[in-house]
């Protein structure tokens, strides 16, 4: 399931539904990203509805082809979010834990660097656009040919 929404994310309900939809999976790994509270008063996320959903679906399809997973879940918020609010929930279901862990890691690395989402932090002293950091790009690069996870 791929979903980009302005509605609040309920991780427990989404993971329960994902687990129920994958009854034969021996493993489900997940990641929940939240708005940091280190001086951030709000996070504004904008997107292009059609293009963003299509790119996230492509990233999910790549993960399904690359890893031995039965399914994956990606739910991403847009709009104004306050500190502590869930931004993104990613999960993968597989027969064994390693594929699920690796798929979730891969999905997040791709989302951070490739998903067309525009993020702006709101702070007491103004606003700042957020782009992929060099460490995000390095994390993404390790999945390319020759990277440490390229053959998993």
Cα 43 to Cα 98: distance, rounded to the nearest angstrom = 32
Burial environment of residue 67 by CB neighbours within 10 A (0 to 12, 13 to 18, 19 or more): buried
Provide the pLDDT for residue 3. 95
Provide the pLDDT for residue 67. 97
User: Which residue's entry shows tokens 């999960």?
Assistant: 91
What tokens were used for 65? 């082809």
- Give residue 57's pLDDT band: very low, low, confident or very high (50, 70, 90): very high
- Give residue 152's pLDDT band: very low, low, confident or very high (50, 70, 90): very low
Query: CATH for 2-141, among 3.40.1400.10, 3.90.1170.40, 3.90.870.40, 1.10.3470.10?
Result: 3.90.1170.40
Provide the pLDDT for residue 151. 43
- Give residue 150's pLDDT band: very low, low, confident or very high (50, 70, 90): very low
Cα 118 to Cα 139: distance, rounded to the nearest angstrom = 20
Q: 125 pLDDT exceeds 50?
A: yes
Provide the pLDDT for residue 145. 67
Alpha carbon distances (Å) from 9 to 32, 61, 94, 106, 140: 10, 22, 23, 21, 25
**pLDDT tens digit sequence for 5-51:** 999 999 999 999 999 999 999 999 999 999 998 999 999 999 998 99
**pLDDT tens digit sequence for 70-116:** 999 999 999 999 999 999 999 999 999 999 999 999 999 999 999 99
CA 110, 111, 113 angle in degrees (round to 5)?
A: 65
Exposure on the CB side of residue 22, measured as CA atoms within 13 A: 23
Cα 84 to Cα 87: distance, rounded to the nearest angstrom = 9
- Is 79 in contact with 47 (CB distance < 8 Å)? no
């Amino acid at each position: 399931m791929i979903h980009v929404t302005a509605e609040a994310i309920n991780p427990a309900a989404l993971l329960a539904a994902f687990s129920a939809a994958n009854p034969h999976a021996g493993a489900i790994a997940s990641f929940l990203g939240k708005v940091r509270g280190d001086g951030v008063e709000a996070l504004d996320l904008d997107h292009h509805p059609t293009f963003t959903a299509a790119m996230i679906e492509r990233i999910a399809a790549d993960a399904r082809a690359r890893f031995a997973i039965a399914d994956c879940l990606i739910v991403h918020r847009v709009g104004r979010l306050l500190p502590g609010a869930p931004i993104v929930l990613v999960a993968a279901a597989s027969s064994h834990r390693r594929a699920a862990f690796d798929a979730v890691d891969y999905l997040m690395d791709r989302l951070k660097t490739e998903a067309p989402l525009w993020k702006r932090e709101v702070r007491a002293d103004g606003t700042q656009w957020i782009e992929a950091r060099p460490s995000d790009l390095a994390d993404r690069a390790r999945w390319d040919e020759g990277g440490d996870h390229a053959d998993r």
